[in-house]
Amino acid sequence: MVASLIVSDSARAALTRAQRVKFQGSIIDKRRTLHPRFNKIHRKKTRYIIVHTSEAGLRSTLHSVSAGKRMRKGRRTHGGHTHYVIARNGRTYRILDKKYVANHAGRSMWNGETGLSAVSISIELVGYHYTPITKQQYRSIGVLLDILQDVYGLDDRAVLTHSQIAYGTPNRWVKKNHRGRKKCAKNFDRAKAVLGPTWPYDPDTRAGRLRPDLKLAAIFYTPRRDDTLLVGSNVITPSNTAWSIAGEDYDDHTTRYRLPNGREIPGDQIEHGIGWHRIPSKTMVLLNQEESPQAGENRGPVKIISDGLTAWSFAGPAFNDKTTYYFFPDGRLKNGREISDWDDLPSNTKIIVGYRRPLEVTTERPSIQIAGKRYNHKETLYFFPDRALVSGARIKSFSSLPRGVVVFLPMKRSG
């Protein structure tokens, strides 16, 4: 613990005034995009800096924190949900002047104090609590924290994550007031942001005000933390429930459950549809799906990226793997290892997951020689020179394929 503090101090000291000025000059100002009905209230005091993960892609994040988002029962907010957003490539956006109150913490408590939106600065890291935060994001948030801590005279223990301060009221999963309402930024590694340790315990669970969340406690307050808990998964297993993944949003209409058979069900329809205790293992949980996904377009092996459906939504941890392929609207083809800027993936990019390296169909090497009996299967895909990506089951004549067609075979034979 002492060594970590020494590293933090020396690294902070290494930041020059010129570096801070350069970073501040690089911040992209988005304050004009705030909802016109957002009520600007001057914050009287600043006691904390709260780190969030946005649980969405960049475009969706910038829109919701500025223009507002749909809440339960159809109500919409007027934005102003954070002060800063940091994209996965490290670009930093100013959403709201830091002197105003941002509506970001919701039902929150720390050391007996509630309503922490009124006394805190908010930073949103684009991405999900079950995906790794990027090096570029850590670099940017490290500088931003350094600046803000100096401005408000805050030490490292004043920097907390949303998952540390959020609390929930009794529900089907927990019968008392409790931690675990949000999983937001549970994957935040303080050392990578050049921060010293957090509190050694949760003051509100220790005082009996709240029931602890054991998984979050194991991440934040154990001397020998298991780093595998930092990221986790958005796939349901016997030990990774809907509550473990989504927190209070488990039954929200914007949370969608993609069953192993491809069927998608909104969170508010699970109870009367299949029942919470009958959700099959390997179901994927997708958060903040404002628009209904284009289910008809995304049931087969070819998925389509949109503002609400990101690479991670479809590929999970394999989003940057060499067996995941991206077909850009302009005709470019790349595998996951060849992409560095995940924030700039355009809408309507097609994605396939778990495929072998493509092979070109030629006269000497016809499709049946490449794919064998699978040449006309629905999961065998043909990429045409005109950018069409077609399932083998939809091709009528394999003898007249044009020159330049390549074939993609899945890694494993479908059952």
Same domain, 225 and 237: no
Domain's final residue, options 181, 212, 229: 229
Same domain, 143 and 173: yes
Answer whether residue 241 is part of any domain. Answer: yes
Answer whether residue 352 is part of any domain. Answer: no
pLDDT for 213: 94
Same domain, 176 and 73: yes
State the virtual CA torsion across 17, 20, 25, 29 in degrees, nearest 10: -140
Answer whether residue 139 is part of any domain. Answer: yes
pLDDT for 297: 54
Answer whether residue 296 is part of any domain. Answer: no
Same domain, 251 and 221: no
- Using CA atoms, how far apart are residues 53 and 162, in angstroms rounded to an integer? 8
Domain's final residue, options 274, 290, 306: 290
Residuewise pLDDT in 10s, the chain (415 residues): 333 333 344 455 567 888 899 999 999 999 999 999 999 999 999 999 999 999 888 988 999 999 998 776 667 899 999 999 999 999 999 999 999 999 999 999 999 999 999 999 999 999 989 888 999 999 999 999 999 999 999 999 999 999 999 999 998 889 999 999 999 999 999 999 999 999 999 999 999 999 999 999 999 998 766 555 555 678 888 888 898 898 888 998 889 998 888 788 999 999 888 899 899 998 989 888 765 444 445 668 998 887 666 787 788 778 889 999 999 998 899 999 998 777 677 888 999 999 999 999 999 999 999 999 999 999 999 999 999 999 999 999 998 899 999 999 998 754 4
Domain count for the chain = 3
Burial of 81 (0-12, 13-18, 19+ CB in 10 A): buried
- Using CA atoms, how far apart are residues 357 and 367, in angstroms rounded to an integer? 14
Same domain, 161 and 190: yes
- Using CA atoms, how far apart are residues 237 and 19, in angstroms rounded to an integer? 45
Same domain, 284 and 388: no
Q: 345 with 326: CB under 8 angstroms? A: yes
**CA proximity to 363, closest of 399, 393, 327, 329:** 399
Amino acid letter, residue 24? Q
In Å, how far are 183, 229, 399, 409, 410 from 188, measured between CA atoms? 11, 11, 54, 37, 34
Answer whether residue 340 is part of any domain. Answer: no
Q: 111 with 204: CB under 8 angstroms? A: yes
- Given the structure tokens 């005709």, which residue do they identify? 331
Same domain, 27 and 50: yes
Same domain, 213 and 195: yes
Side by side, the strands of the sheet bearing 159-161 are 28-29, 92-94, 84-86, 120-125, 48-53, 159-161
Same domain, 280 and 212: no
* Cβ density class 161-187: b for 16+ within 10 Å, e for less: bbbbbbbbeeeebbeebbbbbbbbbbb
Domain's final residue, options 176, 197, 229: 229
| CATH code of residue 50 | 3.40.80.10
pLDDT for 8: 42
- Beta carbons within 8 Å of 234's beta carbon, 6+ residues apart: 128, 130, 245, 284, 285, 286, 287, 316
**CA proximity to 237, closest of 284, 271, 202:** 284
Answer whether residue 310 is part of any domain. Answer: no
> What is the three-state SS of the chain?
CHHHHHHHHHHHHCCCHHHHHHHHHHCEECHHHCCCCCCCCECCCCCEEEEEECCECHHHHHHHHHHCCECHHHCECCCCCCCEEECCCCCEEECCCCCECCCCCCCEEECCEECHHHHEEEEEECECCCCCCCHHHHHHHHHHHHHHHHHHCCCHHHEEEHHHHEEECCCCCCCCCEECCCCCCCCCCHHHHCCCCCCCCCHHHHCCCCECCHHHHHHHCCCCCCCHHHHCCCECECCECHHHHHHHHHHCCCCEEECCCCCEEEHHHHHHHCCHHHCCCCCEEECCCCCCCCCCCCCCCCEECCCCCCHHHHHHHHHHCCCEEEECCCCCEEEHHHCCCHHHCCCCCEEEECECCCEECCCCCCHHHHHHHHHHCCCCEEECCCCCEEEHHHCCCCCCCCCCCEEECECCCCC
Same domain, 246 and 209: no
Using one digit for the tens of pLDDT, what is the confidence trace for 49-83?
999 999 888 988 999 999 998 776 667 899 999 99
Same domain, 46 and 140: yes
Same domain, 152 and 220: yes
Answer whether residue 301 is part of any domain. Answer: no
Answer whether residue 61 is part of any domain. Answer: yes
Q: 192 with 151: CB under 8 angstroms? A: no
Lookup: tokens for 282: 């390997």
pLDDT for 206: 97
pLDDT for 357: 95
Q: Domain of 250?
A: 233-290
